[in-house]
Structure 1
């Protein structure tokens, strides 16, 4: 059910929809919208305001996106970061709870329209690459089964927006992965010379590849076919090094590694990042024009020079209701065109992330 938004929130949403619909933006335009969104969140999101006050940051001191204090990603598990009461939000996405048992992070969306447009615009550019529609084979349950899953929404929206006739999900909550139906339908598409897209969680691809190997199956998908994986293994399957994983995808489906695209996203954000194909790993992750990324030293908060590793902090303007700027627990390196994703924070980097969470909690509870 869609909720009527308060006038101030509707103005924010309308401005964002127009901004995302643009073909790009200048740094000054990005900074101006980032500062305005920070002022909106500072006024309406109490835990975030307390965190900013503890750091001595107010809207008067924010003139550019780099001035915005990043919220540690784990804060979404311990506080309600929302400018609107959660009960009045159209959709709430929840994390899988894999890192802290049943404790789940929540990202509240007063309207899903901004999230949807963000997904569609960048997906069209980075995955569809000029193709209007492809038959989509999805290795994840439909969002109707997992209403609080951002990945469920992502894949279902991809199918509705860009899927050709015959697109469907081959995983259900009750039945799991329907290997036989998937392989039968993919073989038919292959025999007809029909390009297809296979999209799903990384661990689902591992299960599928194992099942195909047990059946002695390999495919050579028609020209124009492509694959998308996301989310990593999450302890749901055996883990493969990146090179071995993309070699296995390429060999199992007969698709060049350049057409094996990884999406990097998270429940706590409203936009996604894509690489340009995994001929070489790690590949450069690319953001849309409404997202900026810094690589930080989590102990000091200072920005690392290009080429030096640190923890990724993303400023996602589409994340208008909670906090635009998130300090992740992912390590990366800034490079031309984006960043390299190197894995999870460990050692001193992980300690720095933990201290940031502690600081947030102390401020939010003050």
Structure 2
């Protein structure tokens, strides 16, 4: 979900043509629509996601089934797996499922279903490669939506059924190919109390609307939540500072930020960013929750607040993470830094395991996200991508 707005003349400006749906991409050779087998697999996954007693063995078995289907119906991925010597006949553990570098989503159509038959195509923001945008094809959004809502409820709502929300991001109608726009629309639809609204429109940030919502929250005394891209909060805090405004939101209020700054605002160190949120909105750092996700995944990670950084990120039982050497795909030694690889069962239609370009270290309960790959690790990611493309295009 590294989705953000392309650079523009002002904060939150909507790029020309943003409301147009993305091109579907080339049709695959395999004529595979949402077959009964695919429907049954999705139904099983939806049931698995709702379990409270899921085991490691069940996760592994489902990952292997998803991998076998993707090997059969995703030609580019199949060629890569064969080149790696890893096929459904030889892979016996989910750790051994070949991980596709996330840049592969920019250069190839990774979909079991013909692209033009997919209900939605989420696209990356293009901040890392201006010449290409990654595309994640979804035949329908049942699994994605369930993954978001089932995970969001315990990790952000913290026992509340509804909370009044202000969203510092454009609407889904304004950015129909943004996974973050869809994510925030789901948050508003399922968890937003009456009076929740967007605070970004075609003309940019609605500062008057933001001030009004903050004033109403402080007078009413009910918890209030602000959600959006990290850079959106920078613009909001700057706008409020220009007006000499700050507030102390009621107890139970919280903030969710995601996506970083993407060149859309000034960069801020994490400690300074969360301190500024506290100064501006009166929300303690442990109630400032960061969501880590990406367009190439269908599941998100959260921390328990940012009283200390880097906070520990973790996900639900249907996603697992490893810290690997990007060239070998093997786990690094415990406590060492490596590249994060995620196995997301909700990625039923694309590839179940992706190799990111993010550096992390495994810790009890999850991982610490340390930033983007640089130096030898970045070179390793690039070489892994070259190897993937050479095999997938063969």
Residue-by-residue CA offset, 1:62-93 (whole Å, 9 max, x unaligned): 22210101000000000000000011111110
Residue-by-residue CA offset, 1:74-131 (whole Å, 9 max, x unaligned): 0000000000001111111000011111411000011100000000011001000111
Partner of 1:298: 326
Post-superposition shift, 1:306?
Answer: 2.3
Structure 1: give runs of 5+ residues left out of the alignment: none
Alpha-carbon distance between aligned partners in 2 of 1:175 and 1:252, rounded to the nearest angstrom: 23
TM-score in terms of structure 1 length: 0.98
- Aligned: 1:23 with 2:52: yes
- Aligned: 1:188 with 2:216: yes
Alpha-carbon distance between aligned partners in 1 of 2:257 and 2:374, rounded to the nearest angstrom: 24
Alpha-carbon distance between aligned partners in 2 of 1:267 and 1:360, rounded to the nearest angstrom: 19
Name whichever of 11-20 and 130-139 sits farther off: 11-20
Structure 2: give runs of 5+ residues left out of the alignment: 1-32
* Map 1:1-366 → 2, pairs under 5 A: 5-172=34-201, 174-366=202-394
CA contact (8 A) 2:224 2:249 kept: yes
- Could you say what the CA RMSD is over the residues aligned between the two structures, in angstroms? 0.9
Post-superposition shift, 1:24?
Answer: 4.1
Post-superposition shift, 1:316?
Answer: 0.3
Cα 1:85–1:56 shift into 2, 3 Å: same
TM-score in terms of structure 2 length: 0.91
CA contact (8 A) 2:170 2:181 kept: yes
- In the TM superposition, structure 1's runs of 4+ consecutive aligned residues that sit over 2 Å from their partners are none
Indicate the SS of the match to 2:81: helix
Give the paired residue count.
362
Alpha-carbon distance between aligned partners in 1 of 2:84 and 2:144, rounded to the nearest angstrom: 29
Post-superposition shift, 1:365?
Answer: 1.2
